[in-house]
Structure 1
């Protein structure tokens, strides 16, 4: 008498799709990459939430000096400090591949970053036209995060997966970050980063625009270059536009 076939098993292994953050490394060396990671994310340790990472080395020029294993270890440590979990890589010289495999990373031929825009390292901030299309954060954002108190220097607010609404002043040295839009119904004098995970349609709105830095989907501009006179200290919005020369920020007064 034969036994019945089990309806379930203790383990079932299937091929699946894991969305990955992609860090595209372009050189010229690991030190430059670490400096840029610190500049972009040094004030926000844990910006990412232990998210799996694919290191993209396809654009690392063969003519660049190949890094030593200790430099590669320092790079991986720097990525982990901001909340990323390096799991895989693609491309790279034998030096890169041997060092990464020795540290537990596996080769991959994945194309795209699933739900997250690539993290560009050691390059100008404008995103590459070949970058995977970011998922729409706004579509999944149920409500905005509302802050009704002034933000002082050193304070940071991050609206993960939604818009951010600030009803009081954002003082110099403070930082507001959102995966969606940022609305500041008061003077904006600190730093504002909208579309933090790649939503290029995100915008920044302020009743008095005089920030230290604004950024949308990784494209940023600082106060080192004077703000356009028609928007400085006035009600205005900032949005991202694309043209023959690449992506740039557009500053528009409220009519």
Structure 2
């Protein structure tokens, strides 16, 4: 009798990276949530479909602390794919996994480290902007994030692509995706593009979707800013 070998179904694994937004639990829960709720009122739906990680920054003291943070965010529609900055002993199988090795979108390292034990602390100065220049087309599904300054794109931003900047966004080409400015520097930020076809525009948490953008600005060079808690679009 001839032996017959049967091959089971083939399962393929691929390594793939995704851009995640990280929320930092850098204060008491009640005060942090109060600020977060104000932000959500101005930008409802901002976290819908986003990959979100919560960084406890070593502030969680108990498993109950971790559970409460996760639960409060879940009630606000923020579902976490992972957590950072927490002892593994405070996490169980019902919680998002503890992540390791994450990197900020942009990183600034200074070499003028001082000994805090011997050097008096100086008032903290505002961080200097660190701007990003991208000289290529941003395709659907891609994200460009620079929370420390402006983002300048020399090329188009395709539908389904996303640009997030701490400061302003400059697009020298068609802006067909999502542009979110002022994530760090607030209302000082603006958005500029040479051809507007955007799915979403946002500055300092105030946004408009494609349905809310006047057709008169479609295909035009525009400037987007905020005034009196309103997103303003003006032709250039």
TM-score (norm 2): 0.55
Judged with a 3 Å threshold, the aligned counterparts in structure 2 of structure 1 residues 52 and 237 are, in CA distance, closer, same or farther, namely farther
* 1:252 alignment partner in structure 2: 234
Divergent runs of 4+, >2 A: 18-27, 41-53, 70-87, 225-228
Q: How does 1:38-53 map to 2 (within 5 A)?
A: 39-46=45-52
SS in 2 for 1:205: strand
User: Where in structure 1 are there 5+ consecutive unaligned residues?
Assistant: 1-17, 28-32, 54-69, 88-134
2:72 match: secondary structure: helix
- The answer for the alignment partner of 2:109 in structure 1 is none
* Counterparts of 1:136 and 1:84, CA distance in 2: 29
Q: Which residue of 2 aligns with 1:177?
A: 164
CA distances 1:231-251 after superposition (whole Å, capped 9, x unpaired): 321111100001xxxx10111
In the alignment, the residues of structure 1 paired with residue 125 and residue 180 of structure 2 have an alpha-carbon distance, to the nearest angstrom, of: 16
Question: Are 2:218 and 1:236 aligned?
Answer: no
Question: Which of 71, 75, 93 is matched with 2:72 structurally?
Answer: 75
Distance 1:73-1:202 versus aligned 2 partners, 3 A rule: closer
| Contact 1:79–1:85 (8 Å) recurs in 2 | no
- Equivalent in 128, 132, 157 of residue 145 of structure 1: 132
Considering fraction of residues, name the structure with more strand.
Answer: 1
1:86-114 Cα distance to aligned partner (Å, 9 max, x none) = 99xxxxxxxxxxxxxxxxxxxxxxxxxxx
- Partner residue in 2 for 1:3: none
- Pair 1:146–1:209, CA change in 2 (3 A): same
Distance 2:159 2:206 in 1: 20
For this pair of structures, how many residues does the alignment match?
159
Equivalence for 1:97: none
Distance 1:136 1:193 in 2: 25
Matched, 1:220 2:207: yes
Distance 1:73 1:205, change over 3 A: closer
Q: What is the deviation of 1:167?
A: 0.7
Aligned pair in 2 of structure 1 residues 83, 241: CA closer, same or farther (>3 Å)? farther
Decide whether aligned partners of structure 1 residues 50 and 154 sit closer, same or farther in structure 2, where only a CA change above 3 A counts. farther
Asked whether the equivalents of residues 228 and 251 of structure 1 are also in contact (C-alpha less than 8 Å), the reply is no
- What is the CA deviation profile of residues 31-59 of structure 1, one whole-angstrom value per residue up to 9, with x for unaligned ones? xx8xx87x312444247765689xxxxxx
Structure 1 length-normalised TM: 0.51
